[in-house]
Amino acid sequence: MQVFLGIIFHFIGGFASGSFYMPYKKVKGWHWENYWIVGGFFSWLIVPPLAAWLTIPDFAEIISRTPREPIHWTMLFGVLWGVGGLTYGLGVRFLGMSLGNSVVLGFCSAFGALVPSVYYNFFPASGKTTFTDLITTTWGRIILGGIMLCLLGIFICGRAGVMKEKELSEEQKKKSVAEFSLVKGLIVAIISGILSACFNFGIEAGKPMAEAAVAAGFNPLYQNNVIYITLLWGGLATNFLWCMILNVRNRSFGDYTDAKTPLLKNYLFSALAGTTWFLQFFFYGMGESKLGNGASSWILHMAFIILVANAWGVLLKEWKGVTTKTRFTFITGIVTIILSVILVGYGNYLK
């Protein structure tokens, strides 16, 4: 029953993450940096403390009593993850919901699942899986095989993107994805995928705060909410700095008060997008409390995001006009990623 609940929570979180960009498409007359940072304030500054207050009212005291080192590491990983989140938005902007999410989250899945085991190989901790465990046990080798299969799925999806670019005219590409650019998109998506995995590392670094919340008698289901406060501060700092730079460069500060645009709707849709993005973390924490913060939780969460994002991509007709061969190639990539998730899950089941 616990495993089933964990899967349900991860699905809800994956649905939120795979869907959050949709409200941004309703924003009219604003530059990208404007709606991104408005949504970001809700994702990283407004909603996380509210969620923590509702579930762990003493979160501020728990953070204040936590040693500096875990706080610093959590915030550092938050900054790195912030760069990943920033480039995630650019990746979707240049590649579309389907291809952008598949590349970004594929890399994020692999690195987020693998790197913690390497860390614990050098800094062992009770109950944590090391890289040695992965290569010397049957279940570990199955998990590694799943991670490699995930990377293969990313490659196939990328190949489909190349085929799509060759087949469609500029007009068709712009119609399906307004700013489609395969090269720029793949570069930022790969960077995003690698750095976005730092969110998982930040959760590991902030575990003393979560453990303190549980020890204080709060529901373990919501223990990660106290970690998100410091982890997401780092993400806010990175994104705020870059968006302000873009505001200066593009002279887009005026968007925030431009009466010629539907200001109320723009703010509401940006707030909705930001809040929806945070919900992925909220439900990831609930799923992780049931399944543990190992490779299975991370890969499962990423897979649901990929599935939901690609469903949106199909509804938005991002692959309309391509040949059957290209569409089949892309579907093959998605199926490969899904199989990799099943393989990782099976490995953890054997463990």
Q: What is the DSSP string of 69-90?
A: HHHHHHHHHHHHHHHHHHHHHH
Q: What is the pLDDT of residue 98?
A: 63
Q: Give the CA distances from residue 113 to residues 221, 238, 298, in Å, rounded to whole numbers and listed in that order.
A: 21, 24, 6
Other beta carbons within 10 Å of 113? 28
Determine the pLDDT at residue 33. 92
Whose structure tokens read 């705020």?
240
Please give the torsion angle defined by the CA atoms of residues 152, 300, 54 and 210, in that order, rounded to the nearest 10 degrees: -90
pLDDT at 74: 93
pLDDT score, position 322 = 77
Global pTM value: 0.74
Q: Is 78 left (phi over 0), alpha (psi -120 to 50) or beta?
A: alpha
For the chain of 351 residues, list the mean pLDDT of each consecutive stretch of 10: 76 85 91 94 94 94 92 91 78 68 70 74 74 86 83 76 68 57 74 79 88 92 92 89 94 94 96 93 83 66 74 73 84 83 73 69
| Rg of the Cα atoms in the chain | 20
Provide the pLDDT for residue 66: 93
d(CA 313, CA 177): 10
Structure tokens at 92: 């979707």
Tell me how long the chain is: 351
Query: What is the DSSP secondary structure assignment for residue 257, as one 8-state letter?
Result: G
